[in-house]
Structure 1
Amino acid sequence: MNHIRRLAAALLLFALASPATAPAADGPLFDAHVHYRPAMMASISPAEAGRSLAEAGIDGALILASEATTFRRLDAASAARLVPFLDISRRLGRKTDWMHVEGVAERAREWLEAGEGVDWAGIGELHIRAGDRFAPAFEALLHLAAERDLVVMIHGDPAVIDHAYTVAPAVRILWAHAGTYPYPPLLDDYLRRYPNLVADLSMRNPTLTDADGRLEEAWFELLTRHPDRFLVGVDTFSVNRWTEYGDIVTATRTWLADLPPEVGEALARENAARLFPE
């Protein structure tokens, strides 16, 4: 059955692809999960990071930055359109227990309003365990994001997403790595429940694909059922991920080629363009 679906996708690609428009597997991509922190600059300069994006065919990227200065330096060195997210937890220096720091939401509001030359489009990546989901700081950040129409990137399990939408039903959430438990039936359920929820697929290439790097049938069905709810990404959480950047993007392009062209285009860049309009 998997081979039949792949053949159908390939035939559809052949029938619909236009010479004037490069398919997602070959054309520009939007990377929805890029970390660039001050500590990385000693190993990967802004110019080197910008070159890595360009060589991989990235024409847009969501940048998770704790400092405005760091983002501005990368933005100046990159030809891609960069969308800045304020990494609250990294700015506080507390990746796993930031939600218990006093005055988080108030400080976040000050940072967002100060701007420092950056028009922040979102907040995150917020790492949060299920047991911390009732923390007042988390709830206050959700309200702040909804008030300012910012997207919140959450790295957490389904209970965190459920609570977020109980607290702030209108908030827009980007679920990092398609959640802690990236199972197609679970994701299908959550995407149906919450219309303002989208997910990035960073770190999930091995989960999505078989030993040959081709898209698994269950993921093919999920992505074609919800083509407007997913984005692709690398997640440059370490210097090693920057070093491997081109190879990771190549692997992503391999499974994007298994999708019908309009679905591949949506994941590659159109969903990001709609979520983060210029």
Structure 2
Amino acid sequence: DADLPVPRRMVELAKQHRLLLHAHSDVEAIERLFGQWPEARILWAHSGFARPEQVREMLRKHKNLWSDLAFRSDQASGGKVSPDWRAAFTEFPDRFLLGTDTYVPERWHYIGEHAAWSRAWLADLPQDLAERIAFKNGDALLGSLKP
């Protein structure tokens, strides 16, 4: 629960030190985090496993929310980006970040396979948009955190 003492303290520390929050949370918890600190900068892990339209709604509502695509596979099939995700990527070209999730050591064995799969669906997007999702958005977001 985002309102418990430990998450509240994390938000306080992020605010005090101008840190990015990387939240492994659903829509409700993201809303609660922004309720605690409306100016928070949040990288939403796995886009909360929310449907693309829910992700779009959240990005419309919160200008300081970015969505990572780690450990998701619903954005594409057979190298083709789904229409719902294409609409989300097009509407918010600067707010999505490609990622992977190696939450257990054995996941490291799949990084090459994941990279190939990601390159395939990114190739289905306009080059500029694909580059933004692949690395430019991450560079911009993390670069903005410099003191």
TM-score range, shorter chain: over 0.9
Map residues 243-262 of structure 1 onto 2, 5 A cutoff: 243-262=109-128
Supply the distance in 2 between the matched residues of 1:180 and 1:159 (Cα, whole angstroms): 12
Matched, 1:162 2:31: yes
Q: How far does the alpha carbon of each residue in 1:67-107 deviate from its partner, in whole angstroms, 9 at most, with x for none?
A: xxxxxxxxxxxxxxxxxxxxxxxxxxxxxxxxxxxxxxxxx
RMSD between aligned alpha carbons? 1.2
Stretches (4+) displaced over 2 A: none
Aligned residue among 45, 57, 81 for 1:189: 57
How many percent of aligned residue pairs carry the same amino acid? 34
Counterpart of 2:75 (choices 191, 201, 208) is: 208
Of stretches 140-149 and 162-171 in structure 1, the one that deviates more from structure 2 is 140-149
1:174 is matched by which residue type in structure 2? L
**Computing the radius of gyration over CA atoms, which structure comes out larger, 1 or 2?**
1
Distance 2:108 2:15 in 1: 32
Q: Residue by residue, what CA displacement relative to the aligned partner does 1:149-202 show, whole Å, maximum 9, x if unpaired?
A: 111111111110001001011111110011132x11101100011111001101
1:239 Cα deviation after fit: 2.0
Secondary structure at the counterpart of residue 244 of structure 1: helix
Deviation, structure 1 residue 213: 3.3
Query: 2:12 & 2:64 partners in 1: Cα distance?
Result: 14
Superposition TM-score, scaled by structure 1 size:
0.50
SS of 2:13's equivalent?
helix
Higher relative contact order (CA 8 A, sep 6+): 1
Structure 2: gaps of 5 or more residues: none
The answer for unaligned runs of 5 or more in structure 1 is 1-131
Taking the aligned partners of 1:163 and 1:261, their CA distance within structure 2 comes to 36
Q: Distance in 2 between matches of 1:180 and 1:255?
A: 18
Does the Cα contact within 8 Å between 2:14 and 2:21 map onto a contact in 1?
A: yes
Distance in 2, matches of 1:167 and 1:256, equals 35
More helix, by proportion: 2
Greater strand content: 1
3-state SS of 1:235 partner: coil
